[in-house]
């Protein structure tokens, strides 16, 4: 097996290992991480959920949600530092000896309003312990109501394959280090250091996250949205197979239709180069007993099982009437009849050595055929 074959097999095995216990993408409605409300302590940012999404193959988005919109701490809190962090273990892309990825943000307290300050990511050997500050890299972050979101470009995880790799053992936490009592009246006691903490979940980890497989790079375009022809007839449409990817694609085309209809695709298998397109013919025919309308679904599938499809509407009209002869007498005789004179009868009144056969056809004409006896 070649190098790329080994990579493909390995990717399949990795995806299969976690197929039962993982969900591909989280959301606010179905987060990877959940935590009970009300366990954050005094003035805490009460974490209740965290999730990961991959809105495109180039980024991972980490989100954490609180019970309420984060607010600016009063001066009595005398905050020294605050961090909101999402921890996980990528299945690939981490430096040697540092299997844990953290994405973190430190809100800015000096503006009188809650805003994100230094948002960054880094790698470390142990979850819950930050790495070297000099090794951390800035990333984008935003606040929307109760949710804080941080975006990590996948270029920061070299070797991490979108559609194969993911994040294991995820959890989130919020930590505030302050001087003096939180929320107490009067001046803070600068000799007392208070740490307030909330972890989601309280113990253990959330659900593993694995990136969604990238969508197909190919598409189908119909030359016409519908076909119309009489019952018992047929018509043909063209389907353009477009490959928007850089690599070539080998595709099999199939179609299905309701009973009474037949669909033929020519050719049924195509190889489409990167950035190229190929046109195939799709011919639909109907029997005399077929319904008046149907939809034909045409699909293209590659070797990985990725598939796209289009739907062709088919409208069938009344059958074409049979041709009617100009001579009304043509219908006088429904079935042709044949009268034959035996050789003996021919000897009695006919010509010896010949057999005469009279054929009365439906068109009312008389034909004489002679056969010489041997």
Do 204 and 137 fall within a single domain? yes
The label of the residue with tokens 């006919």 reads 350
- Is 195 contained in some domain? yes
How many structural domains compose the chain? 3
Stated as kind and residue range, the H or E segment containing 5 is helix 3-17
For residue 351, give its domain range. 328-372
What does pTM read for this prediction? 0.54
Domain boundary among 286, 317, 348: 317
Tell me what the pLDDT averaged over the chain comes to. Answer: 76
- Residue 164 within a domain: yes
Bridge-partner residues for 140, per DSSP?
A: 151
Residue 373 has pLDDT above 50, yes or no: no
Where among 210, 230, 245 does a domain terminate? 210
Regarding predicted confidence, which is higher, 149 or 5?
149
Instruction: Based on the fold, state whether residues 154 and 247 are members of the same structural domain.
Output: no
Say if 8 falls within a structural domain.
Answer: no
3-state secondary structure of 192: coil
CA 198 – CA 52 distance, rounded (Å)? 19
- Rounded CA gap, 200 and 171, in Å? 6
- Asked if pLDDT for residue 345 goes beyond 80, the answer is no
DSSP helix/strand/coil, 250: strand
| Domain assignment present for 130 | yes
101 with 152, same domain: the answer is yes
Q: Are residues 300 and 351 in the same domain?
A: no
In this structure, the answer to whether residues 95 and 30 fall within a common structural domain is yes
Q: How many CB atoms lie within 10 A of CB 130?
A: 15
pLDDT of 210 strictly over 60 = yes
**What secondary structure letter does DSSP report for 28?**
S
169 and 297 inside one domain:
no
Q: Is residue 365 part of a domain?
A: yes
What's the CA gap between 193 and 178, in Å, rounded?
6
The string of pLDDT tens digits covering residues 349-368 is 444 443 433 333 333 333 33
Same domain for 71 and 191?
yes
Instruction: Select from 173, 192, 210 the last residue of a domain.
Output: 210
For residue 362, tell me if it sits in a domain.
yes
On the question of pLDDT at 62 being above 80, the answer is: yes
d(CA 240, CA 253): 12
């Amino acid at each position: 097996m070649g190098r790329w074959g080994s990579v493909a097999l390995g990717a399949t095995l990795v995806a299969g290992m976690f197929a039962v216990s993982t969900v591909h993408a989280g959301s606010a409605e179905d987060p990877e991480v959940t935590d009970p409300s009300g366990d954050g302590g005094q003035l805490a940012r009460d974490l209740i959920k965290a999730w990961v999404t991959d809105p495109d193959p180039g980024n991972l988005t980490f989100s954490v949600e609180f019970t309420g919109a984060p607010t600016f701490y009063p001066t009595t809190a005398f905050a020294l530092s605050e961090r909101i962090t999402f921890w996980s273990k990528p299945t690939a892309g981490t430096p040697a000896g540092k299997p844990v990825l953290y994405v973190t943000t430190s809100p800015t307290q000096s503006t009188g309003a809650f805003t994100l300050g230094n948002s960054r990511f880094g790698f470390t050997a142990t979850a819950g312990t930050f790495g070297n500050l000099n090794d951390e890299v800035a990333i984008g972050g935003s606040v929307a109501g109760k949710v804080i979101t941080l975006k990590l470009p996948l270029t920061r995880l070299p070797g991490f394959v979108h559609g194969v790799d993911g994040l294991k053992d995820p959890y989130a936490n919020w930590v505030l280090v302050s001087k003096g009592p939180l929320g107490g009246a009067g001046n803070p006691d600068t000799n007392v250091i208070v740490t307030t903490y909330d972890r989601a979940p309280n113990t253990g980890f959330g659900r593993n996250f694995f990136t969604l497989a990238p969508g197909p790079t190919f598409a189908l375009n119909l030359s016409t949205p519908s076909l119309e022809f009489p019952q018992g007839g047929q018509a043909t449409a063209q389907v353009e197979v477009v490959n928007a990817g850089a690599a070539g694609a080998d595709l099999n085309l199939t179609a299905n239709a309701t009973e009474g209809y037949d669909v033929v695709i020519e050719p049924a298998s195509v190889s489409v180069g990167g950035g190229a397109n190929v046109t195939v013919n799709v011919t639909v025919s109907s029997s005399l007993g077929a319904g008046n309308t149907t939809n034909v679904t045409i699909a293209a599938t590659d070797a990985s099982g990725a598939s796209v499809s289009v739907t062709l509407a088919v409208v069938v009209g009344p059958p074409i009437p049979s041709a009617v002869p100009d001579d009304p007498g043509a219908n006088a005789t429904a079935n042709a009849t044949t009268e034959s004179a035996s050789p003996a009868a021919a000897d009695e009144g006919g010509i010896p050595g010949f057999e005469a056969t009279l054929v009365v056809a439906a068109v009312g004409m008389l034909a004489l055929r002679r056969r010489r006896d041997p």
